[in-house]
């Protein structure tokens, strides 16, 4: 149950005599308002914009400046940013201080690139830019700042993109630094925003590896689900789910694409890696994930792995499309069942959306080819509205029953979800 749901529905419960105003206040007190986390991104965005602005101005006039002036500008800007950051931190202005430190880190990377141009150092490896990642990771350990934890993840993604696109090589050191350096920093001080961005950054690097090696795209899900498995082991439930969100989204979009385009055997053929190697690697990650779920008491989330069932080994055509639709329905049903047991309004909404999407895909696949288009849209609209109304009504009844149970046991303290 979320605070937003309580704020919306609880006045009606008071009016109907289900609870008193005092009980309503007690329920609201259990769900304090969430911090506006987007505010934490402002120093990061400000640092990036100011850094890009300075970089563009200097770059536009770079060739006309004497080498000594160029080097002085680089060192001066870098020192000014770090000194300014330290000054504001000492005065207690943490946001500006961390923003300037982040700017210093951006200028450090720009300095590496511009110094290479200044002395015409043509590099064919990533050593210089790797130092940028190392500096970012070290800085994230020195200061307790969300901004400074996010920056090395973004820098790692940028450096890996440069390696694969410009140098034609994959930097295992870069992904190792981000996974172990920034990952360990997140593990010690869990944060949902950092967890989500860390997962996205690692998935981006994994996708670059698949593209560079021309491997079957399904290999992407081995490292992706390894990130998911790491979330199973984290003791903080919310932080673990934040890390697992991006891999699950990627797996769901993949299954959705298979349901929509799986009838084409040529498309399915692009997804089939060697059976033993792929299934062996995926089974090893699954075993790691199951062990983590069991250790943390989260086996209820095991149906997440339904999305990774290797249905693409089936013959292309209708059997593959139907099998994928069954998987989508089973996954949506598992989310709804879990949400009902936990009386979680957000998960109920998510499960409802997943169920409606699976229904619409099934409707499209089964009726588009032969049904009159006006009738197709009419039936589809009525089906969607009816399904949405039924699921929302059922969810509201379930949540109201859960709230009544909480009120009936006012001294009951809910168990911590792990």
Q: Would you say residue 371 has pLDDT above 90?
A: no
Instruction: Please state the rounded mean pLDDT for residues 314-339.
Output: 79
What's the pTM value of the predicted model, to 2 decimals?
0.72
Q: pLDDT category, 289, cuts 50, 70, 90?
A: very high
**pLDDT (tens digit per residue) in 223-268:** 999 999 999 999 988 888 899 999 999 999 988 888 777 666 666 6
Q: pLDDT at position 415, please?
A: 41
Highest mean predicted confidence (pLDDT) among 295-299, 370-374, 400-404, 412-416:
295-299
Q: Would you say residue 413 has pLDDT above 50?
A: no
**Range from 4-8, 288-292, 367-371 carrying the lowest mean pLDDT:** 367-371
Q: pLDDT at position 417, please?
A: 41
Highest mean predicted confidence (pLDDT) among 61-65, 193-197, 368-372:
193-197
What is the rounded distance in angstroms from the CA atom of residue 74 to the CA atom of residue 20?
Answer: 65
**pLDDT (tens digit per residue) in 266-276:** 666 667 788 88
Q: Would you say residue 140 has pLDDT above 50?
A: yes
Q: Would you say residue 97 has pLDDT above 70?
A: yes
Q: pLDDT at position 369, please?
A: 60
**pLDDT (tens digit per residue) in 199-225:** 999 999 999 999 998 888 889 999 999
Instruction: Please state the rounded mean pLDDT for residues 367-383.
Output: 62
Q: Would you say residue 9 has pLDDT above 80?
A: no
Instruction: Please state the rounded mean pLDDT for residues 363-370.
Output: 67
Q: pLDDT at position 308, please?
A: 85
Instruction: Please state the rounded mean pLDDT for residues 58-83.
Output: 78
Q: pLDDT category, 123, cuts 50, 70, 90?
A: low
Q: pLDDT category, 321, cuts 50, 70, 90?
A: confident
Average pLDDT value for the chain: 79
Q: pLDDT at position 284, please?
A: 94
Q: pLDDT at position 39, please?
A: 56
| Cβ burial, residue 258 (10 Å; 0-12/13-18/19+) | buried
Q: pLDDT at position 222, please?
A: 92
**pLDDT (tens digit per residue) in 152-187:** 999 999 989 988 888 888 989 999 999 999 999 999
Q: pLDDT at position 85, please?
A: 85
Q: pLDDT at position 388, please?
A: 67
Q: Would you say residue 54 has pLDDT above 60?
A: yes
Q: pLDDT category, 1, cuts 50, 70, 90?
A: low
Q: pLDDT at position 109, please?
A: 84
Instruction: Please state the rounded mean pLDDT for residues 60-87.
Output: 80
Instruction: Please state the rounded mean pLDDT for residues 364-392.
Output: 65
Instruction: Please state the rounded mean pLDDT for residues 301-319.
Output: 79
Q: pLDDT at position 207, please?
A: 93
């Amino acid at each position: 149950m979320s605070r937003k749901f309580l704020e919306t529905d609880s006045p009606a419960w008071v009016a109907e005599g289900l609870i008193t105003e005092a009980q309503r206040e007690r329920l609201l007190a259990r769900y304090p308002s969430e911090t506006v986390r987007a505010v934490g991104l402002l120093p990061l965005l400000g640092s990036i914009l100011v850094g890009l602005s300075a970089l563009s101005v200097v770059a536009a006039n770079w060739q006309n400046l004497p080498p000594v002036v160029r080097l002085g500008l680089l060192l001066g800007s870098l020192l000014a940013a770090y000194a300014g950051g330290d000054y504001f931190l000492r005065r207690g202005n943490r946001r500006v201080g961390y923003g300037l430190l982040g700017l210093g880190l951006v200028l450090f990377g720009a300095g590496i690139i511009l110094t290479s141009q200044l002395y015409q150092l043509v590099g064919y490896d990533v050593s210089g830019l790797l130092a940028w990642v190392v500096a970012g990771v070290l800085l994230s350990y020195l200061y307790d700042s969300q901004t400074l934890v996010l920056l090395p993840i973004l820098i790692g993604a940028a450096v890996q993109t440069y390696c694969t696109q410009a140098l034609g090589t994959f930097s295992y050191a870069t992904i190792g630094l981000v996974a172990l350096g920034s990952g360990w920093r997140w593990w010690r001080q869990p944060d949902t925003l950092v967890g989500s961005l860390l997962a996205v950054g690692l998935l981006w690097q994994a996708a670059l590896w698949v593209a560079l090696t021309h491997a079957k795209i399904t290999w992407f899900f081995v490292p992706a689900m390894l990130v998911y498995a790491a979330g199973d082991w984290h003791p903080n439930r919310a932080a673990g789910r934040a890390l697992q969100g991006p891999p699950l989204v990627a797996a769901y979009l993949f299954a959705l694409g298979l349901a929509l385009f799986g009838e084409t055997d040529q498309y399915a053929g692009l997804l089939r890696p060697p059976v033993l190697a792929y299934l062996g690697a995926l089974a090893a990650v699954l075993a790691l994930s199951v062990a983590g779920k069991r250790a943390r008491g989260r086996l209820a989330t095991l149906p997440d792995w339904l999305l990774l069932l290797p249905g693409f080994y089936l013959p292309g055509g209708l059997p593959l499309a139907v099998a994928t639709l069954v998987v989508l329905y089973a996954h949506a049903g598992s989310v709804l069942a879990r949400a009902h047991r936990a009386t979680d309004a957000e998960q109920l909404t998510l499960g409802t959306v997943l169920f409606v999407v699976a229904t619409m895909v099934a409707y499209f696949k089964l009726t588009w080819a032969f049904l009159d288009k006006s009738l197709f849209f009419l039936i589809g609209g009525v089906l969607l509205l009816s399904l949405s109304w039924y699921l929302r009504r059922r969810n509201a009844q379930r949540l109201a029953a859960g709230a009544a149970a909480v009120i009936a046991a006012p001294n009951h303290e809910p168990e911590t979800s792990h």
